[in-house]
Structure 1
Amino acid sequence: MAKRLRSSELCADCSAQDPCWASINRGILICDECCSVHRSLGRHISQVRHLKHTPWPPTLLQMVETLYNNGANSIWEHSLLDPASVMSGRRKANPQDKVHPNKAEFIRAKYQMLAFVHRLPCREDDSVTAKDLSKQLHSSVRTGNLETCLRLLSLGAQANFFHPEKGNTPLHVAAKAGQTLQAELLAVYGADPGTQDSNGKTPVDYARQGGHHELAERLVEIQYELTDRLAFYLCGRKPEHKNGQHFVIPQMADRRLSLDLSELAKAAKKKLQSLSNHLFEELAMDVYDEVDRRETDAVWLATQNHSTLVTETTVVPFLPVNPEYSSTRNQGRQKLARFNAHEFATLVIDILSDAKRRQQGNPVSGSKENVELILKSISNQHSSESQDNDQPDYDSVASDEDTDLETNAAKSNRQKSLDSDLSDGPVTAQEYMQVKNALVASEVKIQQLMKVNINLSDELRVMQKKASKLEKQSSVSESDYDNPTAPLELEETGSGRKGRQRSIIWQGEGSIPEDTDTAPSSSLPSTEDVIRKTEQITKNIQELLRAAQENKHDSYIPCSERIHVAVTEMAALFPKKPKSELVRTSLRLLTSSAYRLQSECKKTLPVETCPTTDIQLVTQQVIQCAYDIAKAAKQLVTITTKENNN
């Protein structure tokens, strides 16, 4: 269903006229430039869809339009509507602003950090607050007030909340009341149409019982959204759920290339079938996100028509990191971008087939395999078949297990494939376009990496200027988009099929240990000491950034070690058990990011030690860790300054 734009519509982020994209989970419309930033954040932050060139379920589009027209954007810009924000210098982006850094910084603050949303009064037990919000959501969905429910969801209400007294979920209530748009909103935030209430009935049952037949049919579509989307991606059609057909399993068009003939393919499929339901569901969700990335990329390039925006921000080369997921899962997700069309189609078909088998209740054997191994098996299996396939094979993005999982046969096969690619034979038009696209994607990654470097360097310079002024000032002025008084561990309002996501702080070996024998202490170090240690951290981070910009990858490890020492010395200034939750959170981010930085830098060991390392990907992760360290250090400077001046 195409969207007819009205001249009165403006981009929610910069107020540009005639926005062509929508962020479904935010209930807003956005322009091309702002969309380029939204896409780089990932679907857990913003789910974008083109208003004209992407198929829309009519009620989903109606839901987004209703939220937009009723001021859903004010939820995400709550504090900016306060006149005091103008006095403090905080403002939203405008159409004339540059995409980087101006619009990008504002959009990240608005949706990733939730810097401008309304904040509830702090309570000791957050779970009680979430429960109260969820009960309000449970009551609100029987009405047509969508923006109220979106506001509750943004504050932490759970779409799948099971009401202990009522014995059902908000989706049961919305279905019974015939509130189709509320059902769409709940589904976007992860509500499951297949959940049973205390009477054993699903939302679909209540919709049918109430005579809301179109809503019942839509809920069934939502229930099979994942597999429907995968099938449509491959063959352009969906199952006819009305007739009881819930799966479409496409077949390979060329039987010569059918992976049924490959022993490696059979082994990979067997491993897929051995996954537990939980791991299989995660893999299916990741493939769903990759399908969305590929389809949105295609629409993006088609609609931009080679404009300057494409060369500046261009496609998203792989799925952005989701901090909710483990590093292993994020690496597996990024590997999906390296699958060529034939490999990816094979994986999608295998997932559809196994989803149908599992849905029909066939038993699943205990899993001894992991998703990484399965993805590697599927990627490697084409090396011996590539002579019959025009599409080149790609090495997988490096993972922690690569050196253990890669067999000598796989190495030999990949070398044969490489030799074949470097032959002097004729080059077809298809091969030429594939090489061209690969080069474009590589250039995009480099450009994005350099922009991250520049943005971080700017951030550090600002931090140093502020630090130098602290000795003369009684307070620190906050930057436009920072919110240092808000906890870093914020509720993300992005939604996958698992529901709302939480942007959690990494709690690995570098976390601040809780000392149960030590009483909480409200004492903080002097501002001068904290500034001095922050300057040491900043100096070492700048050395690391210079090494990244000059491609001196052998300098990563010594730089990370110096940063780790400086971070440890700074953390030692603070009491073992700070009374302030904000101080504890900032220290956890600081120390855990330093540990992550060391782990990432170790991946740049000599090639013979880790032969498949993607150095660009590693560098991107290194810079992200450095950025987190800088932000945490700056926040600790701000906290100690305010506390010591009070």
Structure 2
Amino acid sequence: MSKRVRSREVCADCSAPEPRWASVNRGVLICDECCSIHRGLGRHSSQVRHLTHSPWPPSQLQMVQTLYGNGANSIWEHSLLDPSSSVSGKRKANPQDRVHPNKTEFIKAKYQMLAYVHRMPCREDDSVTAKDLSKQLHSSVRTGNLETCLRLLSLGAQANFFHPEKGNTPLHIAAKAGQMLQAELLAVYGADPGALDSSGKTPIDYARQAGHQELAERLVEIQYELTDRLTFYLCGRRPDHRNGQHFIIPQMADSSLDLSEFAKAAKKKLQSLSNHQFEELAMDVYDEVDRRETDAVWLATQNHSTLVTDTTVVPFLPVNPEYSSTRNQGRQKLARFSAHEFATLVIDILTDAKRRQACLISNPLICESQDNDQPDYDSVASDEDPVQEATCGDSCNDGRTKSSESSDLSDGPITVQEFMEVKSALTASEAKIQQLLKVNCHLSEELRMMQSKLNSLQSENSTLRWQTPSGQQHLQGPFGRHPPRGGRAMSMYETGSTPRQYPHRAETARHEDGVILQPFPTNVSIEAPVFLMDCSHKTKIMISPPSTSDAVEPEEEGEEDATLPCTEDVICKTEQITKNIQELLRAAQETKHESFLPCSEKICMAVTEMAALFPKRPSSETVRGSLCLLTSSASRLHGECQKAADHNPCPSDIQLVTQQVIQCAYDIAKAAKQLVTVTTKENNN
């Protein structure tokens, strides 16, 4: 930007000339004094960067400058533009005002309270208003009008809104239209580059198919923004995503330190965190990295002889009111880490992020542990516990490693012997994993068809719910009483994993053409693909349900019997099977392989009891096939669980056994669902 243009810029908050800082999510430029206040608000209110001394993605800097040049500040000062505001005593800060309290009170009212933003007319249903705004955002991102989209976002439009009719998100539309700056704005407000549309395509796929290769590569970078920022903080480098390198984990410069038992215990505690808790910890460390880097830039750019430093200190992360008090306390304790200790923690997080993503790709588990509002931050630090020993990290005083040794790639902070053992085990299991991936390859097309069918059924069920006459109970969809937002399969982090309680009596509804729709009264969403978010808090990985084995129908003698058991009895047994399957999946997730066999015995007993409800020779071919699949899958499940109990397999073998166990559980649940559906339909007829 030319010096002449820069000379015409003024601070968005006090009109001081030549502002040197920017608030990324607000789209404004600010002076040093106002920036000191912005930093105290926290990144959830204002994300500040220096225009010349902070590292910027070029397109993101262009986005902020475009918003500033097009009057984005008027969004945050809408009511101040009204002539009547001067009469009421409202006024904007000026350069001569004191930092405290004048400028501080104005900036907090402007950005924290949003006191001057244009308000929508009050409506009884705020969710409808947010949905309407999100639909407007969905349409607007195809154009280059950034300030319109920022205005919609400021009013409550959701960057990850899934359009039920279009079957995609605003980021999909921006990527298809090649709107780089719109994509940057959406990403700042939390848009997910890994979100799937109704056909299973991501915004990255949209950009590539439309020929916008540069935008596609930028979206990949946004996916890995968290881990890239942590890596850059340590060694000043970023992974080469274009060539498939997504992680760089620096080694510690001082390799003479031993790996203490306390450090090993701390790492195990970090690895035991659920994905959701680990994501929260990683985001908190990301915020602390941003605070420390901004501090370094601040100290390097200030005239300390004239600026009052006590008004500009940000000693720890500001409180985020959306977080629990426990999490806010853990975030503030991060400031106590020395440069070497903090670098150790950062590398541990990078290592576990890489491990978790590899685990999700090679060994997908369907269930995720229940969310915890107060995550365990013991692995970070506490007042009583000593700081974990440095197992890997950086010996530089500013937390950055400059030597070539520290920027070498590594699979993690482990000893050479441990690394070679892991490498040998991975090599041995590579062939098995590749074979398994080939076997599951043919499911991709089937899953797309299932996804399309699922969306269609959800839309139809939603219509039927609203068409149900008053006084009649609403129809339940396949996800229970409340269908997922946007008519799509929900992320585990959106739905949680708390088991839903279903009524014992099945609810049915007749369509106009006579077809009976019957919900599946189980706690496991079987036919919907499950999405898990990776540790960078950007990437979502679709985990496909295991394939259904072809059931071989046994030949039985005797007359066919058309009678079917009571629907309530079938549902009751199905719920019992589902409860036992959930217990088995929890054991699989927690790697409690010794619990496989007891769980499988409970499932087999419940399957036997359910099969006993039906005649030995059902006349319905569907019932015969479902019963055969139910019993044969239970038998295979027991056999696979027996393998885990009788032997002490290596990690690669137990991985395959676990996948087979999950597949058998899926087959059992699917067969039980078919029996419930058929029984309900026949009994109602």
TM-score of the pair, normalised by structure 1: 0.58
State how far apart, in whole Å, the 2-side matches of 1:384 and 1:139 are: 52
Contact 1:35–1:48 (Cα < 8 Å) also in 2:
yes
State how far apart, in whole Å, the 1-side matches of 2:60 and 2:537 are: 19
Shift of 1:241: 0.2
Contact 1:274–1:368 (Cα < 8 Å) also in 2:
no
Shift of 1:380: 4.1
Aligned residue number for residue 284 of structure 1:
282
Contact 1:347–1:378 (Cα < 8 Å) also in 2:
no
State how far apart, in whole Å, the 2-side matches of 1:3 and 1:214 are: 29
State how far apart, in whole Å, the 1-side matches of 2:223 and 2:26 are: 21
Aligned residue number for residue 256 of structure 1:
256
State how far apart, in whole Å, the 2-side matches of 1:302 and 1:327 are: 33
Aligned residue number for residue 338 of structure 1:
336
Shift of 1:359: 1.3
> Superposed, which structure 2 residues align to 1:588-599 within 5 Å?
none
State how far apart, in whole Å, the 2-side matches of 1:227 and 1:46 are: 21
Contact 1:268–1:377 (Cα < 8 Å) also in 2:
no
State how far apart, in whole Å, the 2-side matches of 1:40 and 1:307 are: 22
> Superposed, which structure 2 residues align to 1:261-280 within 5 Å?
261-280=259-278
Aligned residue type for 1:342:
H
> Superposed, which structure 2 residues align to 1:196-207 within 5 Å?
196-207=196-207
SS in structure 1 opposite 2:300?
helix
Q: 1:70 to 1:179 in 2, by over 3 A?
A: same
> Superposed, which structure 2 residues align to 1:168-247 within 5 Å?
168-247=168-247
Shift of 1:311: 2.0
Aligned residue number for residue 640 of structure 1:
none
Aligned residue type for 1:301:
L
State how far apart, in whole Å, the 2-side matches of 1:3 and 1:223 are: 35
SS in structure 2 opposite 1:255?
coil
Contact 2:41–2:318 (Cα < 8 Å) also in 1:
yes
Contact 1:343–1:378 (Cα < 8 Å) also in 2:
no
Aligned residue number for residue 152 of structure 2:
152
Contact 1:273–1:364 (Cα < 8 Å) also in 2:
no
State how far apart, in whole Å, the 1-side matches of 2:211 and 2:184 are: 18
Q: 1:241 to 1:378 in 2, by over 3 A?
A: farther
State how far apart, in whole Å, the 2-side matches of 1:323 and 1:4 are: 41
> Superposed, which structure 2 residues align to 1:315-334 within 5 Å?
315-334=313-332
Aligned residue type for 2:109:
A
Contact 1:301–1:310 (Cα < 8 Å) also in 2:
no
State how far apart, in whole Å, the 1-side matches of 2:370 and 2:167 are: 34
State the Cα deviation string for residues 415-462 of structure 1 (Å, max 9, x = none): xxxxxxxxxxxxxxxxxxxxxxxxxxxxxxxxxxxxxxxxxxxxxxxx
Structure 2: runs of 5+ lacking an equivalent: 359-363, 398-535, 539-685
Indicate which of 358, 375, 378 corresponds to 1:373. 378
Aligned residue type for 1:66:
T
Indicate which of 302, 305, 312 corresponds to 2:303. 305
Q: 1:226 to 1:77 in 2, by over 3 A?
A: same
Q: How large is the Cα RMSD of the aligned pairs?
A: 2.7
Contact 1:159–1:170 (Cα < 8 Å) also in 2:
yes
Aligned residue type for 1:343:
E
Aligned residue type for 2:270:
L
Aligned residue number for residue 357 of structure 1:
355
State how far apart, in whole Å, the 1-side matches of 2:146 and 2:30 are: 19
Q: Greater relative contact order (Cα 8 A, min sep 6): structure 1 or 2?
A: 1
State the Cα deviation string for residues 34-90 of structure 1 (Å, max 9, x = none): 000000000000000000101111000000000000000000000000000011121
Aligned residue number for residue 50 of structure 2:
50
Q: 1:359 to 1:379 in 2, by over 3 A?
A: farther
State the Cα deviation string for residues 535-560 of structure 1 (Å, max 9, x = none): xxxxxxxxxxxxxxxxxxxxxxxxxx
Aligned residue number for residue 606 of structure 1:
none
Aligned residue number for residue 100 of structure 2:
100
Aligned residue number for residue 39 of structure 1:
39
> Superposed, which structure 2 residues align to 1:447-466 within 5 Å?
none
Q: 1:233 to 1:318 in 2, by over 3 A?
A: same
Q: 1:243 to 1:94 in 2, by over 3 A?
A: same
Contact 1:195–1:202 (Cα < 8 Å) also in 2:
yes
State how far apart, in whole Å, the 1-side matches of 2:163 and 2:3 are: 37
State how far apart, in whole Å, the 1-side matches of 2:261 and 2:2 are: 45
Aligned residue number for residue 77 of structure 1:
77
**Larger deviation, residues 78-87 vs 307-316:** 307-316
State how far apart, in whole Å, the 2-side matches of 1:197 and 1:133 are: 20
> Superposed, which structure 2 residues align to 1:431-450 within 5 Å?
none
Contact 2:262–2:389 (Cα < 8 Å) also in 1:
no
Aligned residue type for 1:172:
H
State how far apart, in whole Å, the 2-side matches of 1:126 and 1:164 are: 18
Contact 1:133–1:156 (Cα < 8 Å) also in 2:
yes
Contact 1:2–1:56 (Cα < 8 Å) also in 2:
no
Q: 1:203 to 1:296 in 2, by over 3 A?
A: same
Q: 1:200 to 1:142 in 2, by over 3 A?
A: same
Aligned residue type for 1:36:
S
Aligned residue type for 2:296:
A
SS in structure 1 opposite 2:379?
helix
How many pairs were matched up?
391
Aligned residue number for residue 63 of structure 1:
63
Shift of 1:312: 3.2
Aligned residue type for 1:289:
D
Contact 1:264–1:381 (Cα < 8 Å) also in 2:
no
State how far apart, in whole Å, the 2-side matches of 1:307 and 1:126 are: 51
Contact 2:171–2:193 (Cα < 8 Å) also in 1:
yes
**Larger deviation, residues 268-277 vs 130-139:** 268-277
State how far apart, in whole Å, the 2-side matches of 1:375 and 1:231 are: 18
Aligned residue number for residue 162 of structure 1:
162
SS in structure 2 opposite 1:246?
coil
State how far apart, in whole Å, the 1-side matches of 2:395 and 2:279 are: 32
Contact 1:38–1:46 (Cα < 8 Å) also in 2:
yes
Matched-pair identity in % = 79
> Superposed, which structure 2 residues align to 1:409-488 within 5 Å?
none
State the Cα deviation string for residues 361-408 of structure 1 (Å, max 9, x = none): 69999699943211137994558889xx9999xxxxxxxxxxxxxxxx
Shift of 1:314: 2.8
Q: 1:242 to 1:384 in 2, by over 3 A?
A: closer
